[in-house]
Amino acid sequence: MHFSTADQSELQAAVRVDLGAIFVSLELSRSTWLVTSIAPGSEKMSRHMVAGGDSAGLLVCLTGLRSKAEARTGTLYPLVVIQEAGLDGFWIDRVLNREDWIESHIVDAASIAVSRRHRRAKTDRLDGEALIRALLAVKRGEPRVCSMVRVPTPENEDRRRTNRERKVLVAERVEHVNRIKGLLFSQGIRDYEPLRRDRRDRLEDLRTGDGRALPARMKAQIGRELDRLELLLGQIKAVEAERDALLAATAVDASTPAAMLLKLKGIGPEFATILHAEGLFRHFNNRRQVAAYAGLAPSPWKSGTIDHEQGVSKAGNPRLRTTMVELAWLWLRHQPASGLARWFSERVARNGGRLKKAMIVALARKLLVALWKYATAGVIIEGALMKTA
C-alpha cells in the first residue's frame, strides 16, 4: 500500500494524538545529549542539545517540551522517553522515573533493525529518529520491533559486582602468569610455576637451558611481574571473602535460590553466586524465557523446504551462558547418575561419540531450566545428588 506525503503526515499525526503522549529519544555522549521529540499537534521532530551529564538541564528541557505541547493543544501530555543501553548505565533512567509524568525505557541498540541495502549513514540525528520510530512501534503493540532492557534495582545491580570483578581479576592473573612463563620459555625454562608459594625462592635458583644464570634485566622484569601477580592474588582473595560473606548472608534462609543451589553436589560458591546474581534473581514466565535470557535458545532457519538449526542465539547474558557451559561439563563429572547426564551420554553414544560440543550446549540449556525450576519452585532434578552435611 502506498501513501502520499499528505496521507503519511495525517497518519503520523493521528498516531501521535491517539497515543496521547510526547515521545522523546536521548542520544547520549560524553560531551552532549541530543534530545529528539515528537509531540501531538506538531508535524516535525524537534531537537535540543543538553550538556552531557546534566540531568537537571535534561529535566528542564523535558519540562519545556511539555509546556510547549500544552500551549499548542491545551492538553498536558505525559512523556515517554527512550535511550540506548550503554556507557551511562541506568542512572539516567532512574532519574527520569522519579517524575510521575515521565515513562522511561532503555532499549538494546543491537535489536533495532537497520537497512542492509547500502552503506548505512550514522549520525546522532538519524539515530534519534530511529529510536522515536521504534518507541512508536512498541506503543502501537509491536513488541518484536526491538528489545527493551529490564532495569535492575540498584541492589541487584550492585550484587553482581563481586563475581564480575573476580572474573576480571582472574583474567589479569592469567595474563601475568602466561607472560612470566613466556619470558622463561624463551630461555629454555619450562617448569617454573608462578602461582606456587615458593615462586620467589625458585626464581633465584633458575638456570637457562644452556646452563647460565637468569639475565639480570629479565630477572628484574619477572620480579616486577611477580609483584603485580601477588597484588592480584591478594585482591582475588579479598573479593572471594566478600563473595562468601554475601552468600552466607543470603543462605541464612534455606529457601533462597542461592542456598538451594549450594546444596547440589558440584555447585560451589562461585557458580551459586553467578547463577543467582546474573539470572535466577529475575522473574521468568516460562523455560523459553530462561533459555533466551542466557542466549541458549535455538535459532531455527525455516523457509520453504529448508529446515535446520543455526545453533544457539547468543543474544542473552554472556556471563550466564559461559558459566552454564562450564557447569555442564562439571555436572557430568559430579552428577553422572542424574537424568540430564544420562541424556547426554545417550545422545553422544547415538552419534558415535561425535558432536560433544553441540550436545554440551544443549545440556547447558536443559540444566539451566532445571536449576531455575529447582531454585524457584523446588522441583527436584531427577537423580541429582545433594552434598553431605
Question: 271 pLDDT exceeds 90?
Answer: yes
Residue 4 has pLDDT above 70, yes or no: no
- Looking at every residue in the chain, the average pLDDT score rounds to 89
The pLDDT value given to residue 19: 63
pLDDT category, 113, cuts 50, 70, 90? confident
Cell match 548505512: residue?
Answer: 120
- Look at residue 3 and tell me whether its pLDDT is greater than 60: no
pLDDT, one tens digit per residue, over 211-237 is: 999 999 999 999 999 999 999 999 999
Average pLDDT over residues 194-210: 94
- What is the value of pTM for the model shown? 0.81
Segment 6-54, tens digit of pLDDT = 444 443 443 444 568 999 999 999 999 999 999 988 878 999 999 999 9
Look at residue 144 in the predicted model and tell me its pLDDT: 83
Stretch 257-266: mean pLDDT: 90
Q: Please indicate whether residue 149 or residue 9 has the higher confidence score (pLDDT).
A: 149
What pLDDT is recorded for position 9?
47
Bridge pairing between strands 46-51 and 32-38: antiparallel
Q: Is the pLDDT reported for residue 170 higher than 80?
A: yes
Identify the pLDDT of residue 18: 52
Which band of pLDDT confidence, cut at 50, 70 and 90, is reported for residue 1? very low
Flag whether pLDDT at 389 surpasses 90.
Answer: no
pLDDT of residue 315: 82
User: Residue 15: what pLDDT?
Assistant: 40
Percentage with pLDDT > 90 across the chain = 68
Quick one: pLDDT band at residue 179, thresholds 50, 70, 90? very high
